[in-house]
């Protein structure tokens, strides 16, 4: 008497409920289609937020400058590219290789086997320079066949066909490249930029262009309704702060992106710019 039982009451199963109407703005109840709550929960899980700011990189590849050109012989091909450096740096080229991270956080590349093309390096002063794989550095398909050394293979995704690395103290700027056969290309062979990344103070960053992200850092006004930046393409009022992935179009405000992401779950809504599939949305907040 006055005590309590040590036995725990069994959990009671709760009935499954699905909300089909939610409280909207202004106190009105807005009808929602069946499945809306589940779609909203899924959209919330897929949403990502990212604080963005400006970081100055002292070494930079110009990704659109890379070109593949026919060499003087039928089996020789040349790669051309451009980079900029704010100080003296070292450029190294590695082929048919694997990536490793050293104990100091620096990325290193080692040959996948002894039969591949040899690595090489060269020093450059500050300025804008052109990389040229030509002459004795040209790609030689007769000595190193295309299918074996220069194409990325799904069964050996860790073996990178071509890597270019720019090095200076505390900074690395890296590009991974492969060669692909294309029926649409005029020369039936094209260069494919697999990825671009930088290592700054032992932290690795994968670089992906977000179309419109640079506008967030404009100094001509704050990003509110009076912002000089482009408005959301859906509501045409709030500023664009949210990108659609994987197409990377930054074209929506956060609220419209949330509704469009829910619509992607319910109706298969797509990116309003390219009509691509919506897998995730990412909100960018400019670091002041």
220 vs 129, higher pLDDT: 129
Q: How many angstroms separate the CA atoms of 196 and 43, rounded?
A: 29
In order of 106, 143, 202, the CA distances from 103 in angstroms are 7, 35, 10
Instruction: Check pLDDT > 60 for residue 24.
Output: no
By residue range, what is the domain housing residue 221?
34-53+210-286
pLDDT(47) > 80 = no
pTM for the model: 0.63
168 and 232 within one domain: no
Please check whether residues 152 and 243 belong to one and the same domain: no
Q: Are residues 115 and 202 in the same domain?
A: yes
H runs (alpha helix) in the chain: 36-46, 254-266
Dump strand ranges (E) for the chain: 21-23, 29-31, 47-52, 59-61, 67-70, 76-85, 89-101, 107-111, 120-124, 127-133, 139-140, 160-168, 171-181, 189-200, 203-207, 242-245, 249-252, 280-286
CATH of the domain at 216: 3.30.40.10
Cα 236 from chain centroid (whole Å)? 27
The verdict on residue 28 lying in a domain is no
Asked whether residue 14 carries a pLDDT value surpassing 60, the answer given is: no
The answer on 245 and 174 residing in a single domain is: no
Q: Which pLDDT value is given to residue 55?
A: 58
In 3D space, the residue among 149, 130, 129 whose CA is nearest the CA of residue 139 turns out to be 149
Of the candidates 228, 237, 252, 191, the residue with the CA atom closest to the CA atom of residue 63: 191
Q: Region 266-280: what's the mean pLDDT?
A: 87
Shared-domain flag, residues 146 and 225:
no
Output the furthest CA–CA distance in the chain (Å, rounded): 101
Please write the tens of the pLDDT for every residue from 176-209. 999 998 766 555 889 999 999 999 888 888 776 6
Residues 222 and 195 in one domain: no
44 sits in the region (left: phi over 0; alpha: psi -120 to 50; else beta) called alpha
Residue 130 sits at φ, ψ, to 5 deg, of -110, 130
Whether 183 contacts 210, CB under 8 Å: no
pLDDT of residue 216: 56
* Lowest-confidence segment of 49-58, 158-167, 187-196 by average pLDDT: 49-58
**Residue 228 CB partners (closer than 8 Å, separation 6+):** 218, 220, 221
Q: For residue 51, what pLDDT is reported?
A: 53
According to the model, what pLDDT value does residue 244 have?
86
Residue 15 in any domain: the answer is no
Interval 110-148: pLDDT, tens:
999 999 999 999 999 999 999 999 999 999 999 999 999
Give the count of domains, the chain.
Answer: 2
pLDDT at 112: 94
> Rounded mean pLDDT of 244-253?
85
Mean pLDDT of 39-48: 59
Residues 242 and 135 placed together within one structural domain of the fold: no
Q: Is the dihedral of CA 44, 45, 46, 47 positive or negative?
A: positive
Average pLDDT of every residue of the chain: 79
pLDDT band for 4, please (50, 70, 90 cuts). very low
Of 147, 182, 207, the last residue of a domain is 207
**Residues 70 and 203 reside in one and the same domain:** yes
More confident of the two residues 120 and 17? 120
């Amino acid at each position: 008497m006055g005590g309590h039982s040590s036995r725990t009451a069994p959990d009671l199963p709760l009935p499954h409920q699905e909300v089909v109407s939610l409280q909207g703005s202004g106190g009105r109840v807005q009808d929602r289609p069946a499945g809306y709550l589940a779609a909203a929960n899924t959209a919330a899980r897929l949403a990502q937020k990212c604080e963005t700011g400006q970081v100055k990189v002292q070494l930079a590849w110009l990704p659109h400058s890379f070109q593949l050109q026919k060499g003087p012989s039928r089996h020789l091909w040349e790669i051309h590219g451009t980079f900029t450096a704010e100080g003296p740096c070292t450029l190294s080229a590695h082929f048919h290789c694997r990536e490793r991270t050293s104990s100091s956080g620096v990325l290193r590349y080692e040959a996948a086997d002894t039969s591949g093309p040899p690595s090489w390096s060269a020093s450059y002063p500050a300025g804008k320079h052109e990389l040229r794989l030509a002459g004795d550095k040209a790609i030689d398909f007769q000595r190193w066949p295309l299918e074996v050394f220069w194409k990325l293979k799904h069964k050996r995704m860790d073996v990178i066909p071509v890597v270019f690395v720019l090095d200076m103290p505390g900074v690395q700027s890296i590009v991974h490249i492969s060669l692909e056969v294309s029926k649409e290309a005029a020369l039936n062979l094209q260069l494919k930029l697999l990825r671009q990344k930088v290592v700054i103070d032992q932290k690795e960053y994968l670089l992906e262009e977000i179309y419109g992200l640079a506008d967030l850092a404009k100094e001509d006004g704050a990003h509110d309704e009076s912002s000089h930046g482009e408005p959301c393409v859906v509501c045409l009022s709030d500023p664009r702060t949210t990108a659609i992935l994987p197409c990377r179009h930054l074209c929506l405000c956060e609220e419209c992106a949330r509704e469009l992401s829910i619509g992607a779950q319910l109706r298969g809504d797509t990116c309003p710019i390219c009509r691509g599939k919506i897998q995730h949305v990412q909100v960018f907040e400019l670091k002041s």
